[in-house]
Amino acid sequence: MKNYKCDLYVVVNLTGDGGKAKKTYARVREILNKNGVNFKTFASRYKGDVKLFVEKLTDRVDGIINIAVIGGDGTINGVINGIKDFSRTRIGIIPIGSGNDFARGLGLPKETDKAVGRILRVLNDDRKRMAEDESDEDFAAAGNGISSCRGEAFSCRVSLVDVGLTTVYGDENVALMLGKAAGVTSLQRRFGISSGIGLDALVCKKLDGSKIKAFLKRFGMGSLSYIVMTVISLFTMEKNDVKIFYTEDVEDSDITAKIGISDKQADLITVNETVNNNRVERRIKKLIFFAAMNMKCEGGGVPMAPKADFSDGQLSCTLAYDVPKWKSFFILPVLVMAKHEKMKSFMLFNDKKVELVSDKEMVVHVDGEYGGESKHVSFEILPEKLMVITG
Is the whole model's pTM more than 0.75, yes or no?
A: yes
Report the pLDDT value the prediction gives residue 314, as an integer from 0 to 100.
98
- Please say if the pLDDT value at position 259 is more than 70: no
Return the percentage of the chain with pLDDT > 90, whole number.
56
Q: Label residue 130 by pLDDT band (50, 70, 90).
A: confident
**Domain 163-383, CATH number (from 3.40.50.1950, 2.40.30.170, 3.10.20.90, 2.60.200.40):** 2.60.200.40
Domain spanning 8-156: which CATH class is it, in words?
Answer: alpha beta
Residues of the chain with CATH 2.60.200.40: 163-383
- Please say if the pLDDT value at position 217 is more than 70: no
Q: Is there a contact between 377 and 85 (Cβ–Cβ < 8 Å)?
A: no
Task: List own/partner pairs for 127-132 with CB under 8 A and 24 or more apart.
Answer: none
Q: Name residue 293's beta-bridge partners.
A: 194, 316
Q: Label residue 180 by pLDDT band (50, 70, 90).
A: low
Residues of the chain with CATH 3.40.50.10330: 8-156
More confident residue, 62 or 223: 62
Report the pLDDT value the prediction gives residue 269, as an integer from 0 to 100.
52
Q: Is there a contact between 380 and 353 (Cβ–Cβ < 8 Å)?
A: yes
Task: List own/partner pairs for 253-259 with CB under 8 A and 24 or more apart.
Answer: 254/349, 255/347, 255/348, 255/349, 258/341, 258/342, 258/346, 258/347, 258/348, 258/349, 259/342, 259/343, 259/344, 259/345, 259/346, 259/347
User: How many other C-beta atoms can be found within 10 angstroms of the C-beta atom of residue 37?
Assistant: 20
